[in-house]
Structure 1
Amino acid sequence: MTVSRVINSENNVRPATREVVNAAIATLGYSPNRAARSLAGAGQLRIGLLYSNPSAGFLSEFLLGSLDQASRSDVQIVVEKCELGDHELERAQHLIASGIDGIILPPPLCEAPALLALLDEANVCAVSVATAMRDEDRLAIRIDDHAAAATMTRHIMQLGHRRIGFIKGDPNLAASAERLEGFRAALADAGIAEDPSLIVQGLYTYRSGLDAAEQLLDRVEPPTAIFSSNDDMAAATVAVAHRRGLDVPGDLTVCGFDDTTLSTAIWPELTTIHQPIADMSRSALELLVTTLRRQRGGDGVEVPRLLDFTLIRRQSDAPPRRRPRER
């Protein structure tokens, strides 16, 4: 019984006894039999992952991180796909009825009001990932989107660009607003007047990036650089530039956000903000498991909720041309 308590991270074991048991486990190379633990009623945690994300690159990294951490934490993860505004409540109710212990919500579901209300009403523990919402009572893992966007904007200005286009993300997500405000703040700090015609709406999809890039490059005086709120829209911008015969980065600097696999799958490879998507999903699962086990009287490690971002410079940025563009 004492060994079982130690393995299940219960807190009613003296520290000295816990050390002896852990030493014995290490010496014997013991690992618990999952089937036996289930039969014995140990209650392996079942975590749901509900997703509806238009970016395949973001989603693949998110799933890989979650599955990796599920194995490390010895929990079962149940992945459910849904369409935002259509099936998310139905799929969440299905998970709740199945006896799920907790749910991970990547964007855009992480900020879906009806879904969050349903989970609160059902008393299901949930963690939101990559959200910029400020709610101290809700579990969340994120980066500082405002600071990240400001950092990228300053980098573009340091190259010498002054006419910088910006493609906004999904208007229903707080992170989109944070990235836009970070862009605006950096311009203001540099004393550059904001040009509303250089800020266009996107939806984080490749298709929306194509439309937004066309709008920006159709301007009488087009931007010399375009900063997109994610890599999918930045990749679409590169495609539009190539179709118009523009050299990237010679004629047009293009920068993205997220650092998904797509950022290195196109030519030129994208300069982008590295959002540690896989690490965020790992941290989300770890935070959820820790919270649930503490609720059951067990132990858990502290999990950082604000992760670091990094500016990754590749081949898609350069100083603006000092000569007229060739037509």
Structure 2
Amino acid sequence: MTITIKHVAERAGVSTKTVSRVMNGEAHVRTAVREAVMRVVEELGYRPNAFARSLSSARSYLLGLFLDDPAWSGYAAGMQRGALIRCRERHYHLVVEPLDTGTDGWEPDLMASIASLRLDGAILAPPLCAMPPLLDMLDGIGLPYVLISPGKDHQRSGSVDIDEEGAAFAMTRHLIDLGHRDIGLIEGIPSHAATPKRRAGFLSAMHGAGLPVDRDRIVPGDFTFRGGLDGGEALLGRATRPTAIFASNDDMALGVSAAAARRGIAVPGQLSIAGFDDGPTARVAWPPITTIRQPVGEMAAAAVDILIDPSYRDAPTDPRFRRELPYELIVRGSTAAPPPL
């Protein structure tokens, strides 16, 4: 038998309108009533008909997750998974939209996509979250959005992030506490809001410990394995090489590991390597990568919660819609004390 909203209302002892308000996350429903309805929903296994819901309201119950490249890394995969699970829990649907703003005509293509999908809101992952033209466009059409790890424009809407600078400081401090004094940094994409924050955390830890940072110890990267390989080759190919390298994400840390293997440099015996994100590759690498655990899935889930909050559309700049989640330093086998002089 197909379970309908009427079955839920009868079992819970409320009207179908009340059940609808609870399922839609609307305000002004007493907590006891909300909990009673949700208990019945779980007991009966009720799932709203998304098509019927969209016809009976101005909403489509569809959220968009915009990524510059959905297949880019474990970071993107973790974000998709977190958003998808939360959407299912809240009886919404998720569509993942790749968006390459480096191509001609991306603006009309995006407008056409949004118009055809009738999105209720959008989640913008980095580096899209730091693109004022894109944010201006969404503001212009009145589409609510939430930014993941934004930069300077984070005051204009809801956002979810971590303390990027503090996390990079903690990782650098870990390497210093192990005894490293010559540490290299491989940066991320310049347009990514996290890149300058992680650099600032690195420099703050080094300067706080009274350690100099030579200009050639900071090299560019792009958050890819290839970027880490090239950055590792640059740092390890110099007359004197660092005893530790902090790569701005795990994919680049794996690239550094490959560069070290090419040169016969033992990890961590001769070189310590650290990453950032704690994606699946960090755990299966050998040795496993010491990294910062960024709760990417939880961040995406929090963005979904903000978007479907009934009061968000009317108050997107309210500080309660700007959330900072905790990070965690994960120490694994890729870092150790430096080799004796």
Q: Conserved in 2, the CA contact under 8 Å of 1:50 and 1:92?
A: no
RMSD: 2.3
Q: Which amino acid aligns with 1:319?
A: A
Give the aligned partner of residue 48 of structure 2.
33
1:161 maps to 180
In structure 2, the partner of 1:83 is 100
Task: Give distance in 2, aligned partners of 1:110 and 1:130.
Answer: 7
Deviations 1:63-103 (A, max 9, x none): 11111011011112111113231265344313331221111
CA contact (8 A) 2:257 2:273 kept: yes
Alignment counterpart, residue 122 of structure 1, candidates 125, 128, 141: 141
* Whole-angstrom distance in 2 between the partners of 1:91 and 1:265: 39
1:140–1:305: 8 Å Cα contact kept in structure 2?
yes
Of 308, 313, 316, the residue aligned with 2:334 is: 316
Q: TM-score, normalising length from structure 1?
A: 0.89
Alignment size in residue pairs = 315
TM alignment of 1:92-241, pairs within 5 A: 92-98=110-116, 99-133=118-152, 135-241=154-260
1:184–1:27 distance in 2 versus 1, CA, 3 Å: closer
Determine helix, strand or coil for the equivalent of 2:152.
coil
5+ residue gaps in structure 2?
1-16
Deviates more, 1:18-27 or 1:263-272: 18-27
Aligned AA for 1:173? H
**Alignment partner of 1:74 is 2:91:** yes
Segment of structure 1 superposing worse, 309-318 or 114-123 = 114-123
Q: What letter is aligned with 1:11?
A: A
Deviation of residue 114 (structure 1)? 1.8
The TM-score, its normalising length taken from structure 2, stands at 0.85
Contact 1:162-1:192 at 8 Å conserved across structures: yes
1:139 positional shift: 1.4
1:32 and 1:205 mapped to 2: Cα distance? 40
2:20 match: 4
For 1:8, the aligned partner's letter is N
Q: Deviations over 1:218-269 (max 9, x none)?
A: 1111100000001111100001101110100001000001111110121111
Contact 1:92 1:115 (C-alpha < 8 Å) held by counterparts: no
Q: Percent identity over the alignment?
A: 38
| CA–CA separation in structure 2 for the residues paired with 1:21 and 1:316 | 49
Residue 141 of structure 1 aligns to a residue whose secondary structure is strand
Residue number in structure 1 paired with 2:301: 282
More displaced, 80-89 or 98-107?
A: 80-89
Q: For 1:134-177, what per-residue CA distance to the aligned partner results, in whole angstroms no more than 9, with x for missing partners?
A: 53222111001100000000000011110100001111122100
Amino acid at match of 2:205: A
